[in-house]
Each structure stands twice: as C-alpha cells, then as structure tokens.
C-alpha cells in the first residue's frame, strides 16, 4: 500500500496552478513546506480537466472505465465507502469488536464464491451473522443512457 495515494491521481499529469508543483510532482501546502500525500488542490483538477484530461503515462487512459469501491454497512446503515476491501472490513471489525470484545472469533462469509461477492462479518465458530456487510460497488465514470432501459 502506498503512503502517498495522490501519486495515482491522473491530475498529476499537469502542473498545479495553486502551489506551482510541476507535472508529475505532488502538490504542496501553500507555503510549500508540506507535501499533500492524499489529494491535490482543486485548481489542479480543474486545470487537468481544462487541458483535456491528458493521460498521466503514455498509453494509459486518463480515467478508468469503471471503479470498484467497498461499502461498509450495518443493518442497511452505511458506515463508510472505501477504495479497498481491507479498509471496509477493518471498519466493520473495529465497530463489532467494541460490542463483543477482543476474544471472540470473527470471520467473513461471502454471499457466493465470486470475486465481487458481498461479505458478512460473522461471530464465533457457530457463524452467527452480525449484520455487518462489505459490498463491492461498481462506479461508472460515464453515464450510459441505454443502461436506464
């Protein structure tokens, strides 16, 4: 896992008008003393869009066709949305551990055997369902008019 998630953002393909960071470099605070490791300035994203969304690396597309996020929920109440399954699981496990304590066995049970199956966090070896769910969701980058039909 990278400690600088912003390095994967496509807007790094253009210079930042807010902090003057060159293309390919992370944004900094306005004083230039701290590196922004998790995001970029909004002005940089706007500059990237205005520039026609150039690809950050030759041969790559600027945006993926779709993105999978992971929704952590409990009894249909959304607790958070994450870009990786482990973070969503950790959120559910942390909250459930507050209820059941550190010594209880917890395990994830998928709905089916597919890679994109929702999972429920279960308690004990008897597999008592907890209601904590991690569900992968596909987010499209563009609207598909025909998908409404």
> Cα–Cα distance between 148 and 46 in angstroms, integer?
29
> Cα–Cα distance between 34 and 41 in angstroms, integer?
13
Give the residue ranges of the chain where pLDDT is below 50: 1, 61-62
Q: Look at the pTM and tell me if it is higher than 0.85.
A: no
Please give the pLDDT value at position 32: 73
Q: Is the Cα torsion angle 37, 42, 44, 48 positive or negative in sign?
A: positive
CA-nearest of 6, 17, 23, 10 to 47 is 17
Please give the pLDDT value at position 134: 95
pLDDT tens, residue by residue, 9-19: 888 888 888 88
């Amino acid at each position: 896992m990278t400690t600088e998630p912003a390095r994967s953002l496509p807007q790094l393909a253009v210079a930042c008008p807010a902090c003057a960071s060159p293309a390919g470099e992370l944004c900094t605070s306005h004083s230039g003393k701290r590196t922004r490791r998790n995001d970029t300035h909004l002005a940089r994203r706007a500059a990237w869009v205005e520039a026609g969304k150039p690809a950050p690396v030759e041969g790559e597309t600027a945006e993926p066709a779709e993105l999978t996020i992971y929704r952590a929920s409990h009894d249909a109440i959304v607790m958070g949305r994450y870009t990786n399954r482990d973070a969503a699981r950790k959120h559910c496990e942390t909250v459930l551990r507050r209820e059941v304590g550190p010594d209880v066995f917890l395990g994830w049970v998928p709905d089916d055997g597919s890679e994109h199956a929702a999972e429920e966090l279960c308690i004990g070896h008897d597999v008592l369902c907890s209601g904590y769910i991690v569900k992968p969701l596909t987010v499209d980058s563009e609207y598909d008019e025909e998908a409404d039909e």
